Structure 1
């Protein structure tokens, strides 16, 4: 099934850079940006070099979903330190059977590239584990994970025949400055993962990439939902970045969405979540199967994070007058996250 072109709210091509005339080029775009550089910010966006160093946050997140498992991993550079995590959730046993989480040493154990796509190279190295995400030329990316516990991933991710990615750029009103994020929907993946004495073939699954780079507030909070299949995918955020990254991929077309609304009980995050947008284009129920969660208190910094894994069901639309498109058990995640960094 295809969506008529005239029924889709098309996004324009990305700007060449995230800053023009001293301000972030705010908007939602369809396509890749070459690199992200905030040095041209001026006027109300001007900050000292020390402030930028402390508040500059970059992360590369990768998700892989199959019928058997869900994998999530990230390399994070928060300016004054860095960290990485990875997990493998076995969807048959409903258990996390592979887990890795490690804080690093500033400037030594991690690098997150300023290039979201072509030419990207992000890595984390520690005696307990190592992670690497690298552009290998053309439409190919290589993902690898090694941990001392035996949790391993070796996969190739391809952009070939994929839908256009989202590029979102905008100001941060909550004591911050500016932010940009580049996100894909379902990508082809080939490879294997090993965890808990089991071997998982990833070839029938889909991958999604989430690259973020910005100058963020000391305290940053968000709720997030993301799920992807070849014909339907979406990304939603409620929090520090407003509506900028709320989009629907439907039959290869990228459609902007309105304000995201999350209804759930934070005390019982494994109960169903209601996720919708105020424009009526998305209305889904999320049923958690399990979760990865972590809380840290490092005195000068702290974080609370829970990422339930499960399935979304409900209705999406290409535009308000379009018939509803049924979504049935689309595999993905929600997230409730608070960082003081």
Structure 2
């Protein structure tokens, strides 16, 4: 389904009758106005179920940088890493949470303000007009970046049911970025890097799991997921258009994630081999919550087919990430 067939995103999530506007859209949903339940206990339960996160990936022929701020309702978390593709080494890998305190704040608006602050890591996203400024401070890694939102391709916006709950997500294609990162005395210019953003906001079940893949360059990219959002957030960016995909399958070895992955779709529009180069991993058990998380950095090869024109687009050595995640939160 090409972008012309995807409706434009509504201004808000609810229609005039208070019904949630489930669907796939192009553009940004300006107001994420989740219905407030009646009663003190349902409102408290909604607060615990409400999850928000903002994720930024910066991919470059020489490195991959990723960072995120996560507000899980009753606590917060953040991570950041820098992977050097030339050496195959993870030069910085910082993961922290604020349990039992709450140090995360993510706005109810895509690609806007977000922050996380603790003694070992500070991340701040701040929006001014069409620029998203990102500042990261830690002993191992520092980052100052400006992401250009003014000329971005169509944004994928999704409102989808998740069991008895609902969730929204916004994904961008390749974005221009400027700035630098400092890691262990070495400066990495962001010139030539490509930025992509993932903003998610909604109510999730107690246990949530997904597999995810994302990679972008100018004129070509994809966001693929198998898990709690079903097929709703599967899409490619081709020929300046946003194209929706249906079911996507991830064939990989969960116990050996550094072996090659194979990702394909039901309609035969996508066939990708993912060759891992490195990974970051987190296993955490807080008794009342748990997380098993692997994000793998590597390169994609294969092809994408435009669903309307039938044109086949070769993917060769495209830098990106895959993910395998289970959360009890």
State the TM-score, normalizing by the size of structure 1: 0.92
Q: Contact 1:56–1:78 at 8 Å: present in 2 too?
A: yes
- Deviation of residue 13 (structure 1)? 0.4
2:142 aligned residue: 152
| Of 220-229 and 191-200, the range deviating more from structure 2 | 191-200
Query: 1-side partners of 2:309 and 2:241: how far apart?
Result: 17
Query: 2-side partners of 1:327 and 1:101: how far apart?
Result: 31
State the TM-score, normalizing by the size of structure 2: 0.95
Q: How does 1:287-326 map to 2 (within 5 A)?
A: 287-319=275-307, 322-326=310-314
1:134 aligned residue: 126
Q: Which structure 1 residue ranges, 5 or more long, are not aligned? A: 1-5
- Deviation of residue 12 (structure 1)? 1.0
Q: Contact 1:75–1:110 at 8 Å: present in 2 too?
A: yes
- The yes-or-no answer on 1:191 pairing with 2:179 is yes
Q: Return closer, same or farther for 1:320/1:270 CA change in 2, 3 Å cut-off.
A: farther
Q: What's the secondary structure of 1:48's corresponding residue?
A: helix
Q: Contact 1:28–1:167 at 8 Å: present in 2 too?
A: yes
- The yes-or-no answer on 1:165 pairing with 2:155 is yes
1:56 aligned residue: 50
- Deviation of residue 100 (structure 1)? 1.5
Query: 2-side partners of 1:257 and 1:246: how far apart?
Result: 5
- Deviation of residue 41 (structure 1)? 7.0
Q: Return closer, same or farther for 1:154/1:7 CA change in 2, 3 Å cut-off.
A: closer
Of 268, 273, 278 in structure 2, the residue corresponding to residue 280 of structure 1 is 268
Q: Contact 2:169–2:201 at 8 Å: present in 1 too?
A: yes
Q: What's the secondary structure of 2:45's corresponding residue?
A: helix
- Deviation of residue 161 (structure 1)? 2.4
Q: Return closer, same or farther for 1:312/1:9 CA change in 2, 3 Å cut-off.
A: farther
- Deviation of residue 160 (structure 1)? 3.0
Q: Which structure 2 residue ranges, 5 or more long, are not aligned? A: none
1:10 aligned residue: 5
- The yes-or-no answer on 1:34 pairing with 2:35 is no
Q: Contact 1:162–1:187 at 8 Å: present in 2 too?
A: yes
1:329 aligned residue: 317
Q: What's the secondary structure of 1:179's corresponding residue?
A: strand
Q: What's the secondary structure of 1:24's corresponding residue?
A: coil
Query: 2-side partners of 1:282 and 1:141: how far apart?
Result: 31
Q: How does 1:228-243 map to 2 (within 5 A)?
A: 228-243=216-231
Query: 2-side partners of 1:288 and 1:279: how far apart?
Result: 25
- Deviation of residue 266 (structure 1)? 0.7
- Deviation of residue 7 (structure 1)? 6.8
Q: What's the secondary structure of 2:317's corresponding residue?
A: strand
Query: 1-side partners of 2:114 and 2:100: how far apart?
Result: 14
Q: Contact 1:84–1:101 at 8 Å: present in 2 too?
A: yes
Of 89, 96, 113 in structure 2, the residue corresponding to residue 121 of structure 1 is 113
1:92 aligned residue: 86
Q: What's the secondary structure of 2:5's corresponding residue?
A: coil
How many pairs are equivalent? 326
Q: Contact 2:58–2:193 at 8 Å: present in 1 too?
A: yes
Q: Return closer, same or farther for 1:22/1:228 CA change in 2, 3 Å cut-off.
A: same
- Deviation of residue 134 (structure 1)? 1.1
Q: Contact 1:285–1:313 at 8 Å: present in 2 too?
A: yes
Q: Contact 1:162–1:252 at 8 Å: present in 2 too?
A: no
Of 110, 128, 141 in structure 1, the residue corresponding to residue 104 of structure 2 is 110
Q: Contact 1:8–1:318 at 8 Å: present in 2 too?
A: no
Q: Contact 2:214–2:221 at 8 Å: present in 1 too?
A: yes
Q: What's the secondary structure of 2:158's corresponding residue?
A: strand
Q: Contact 2:304–2:314 at 8 Å: present in 1 too?
A: yes
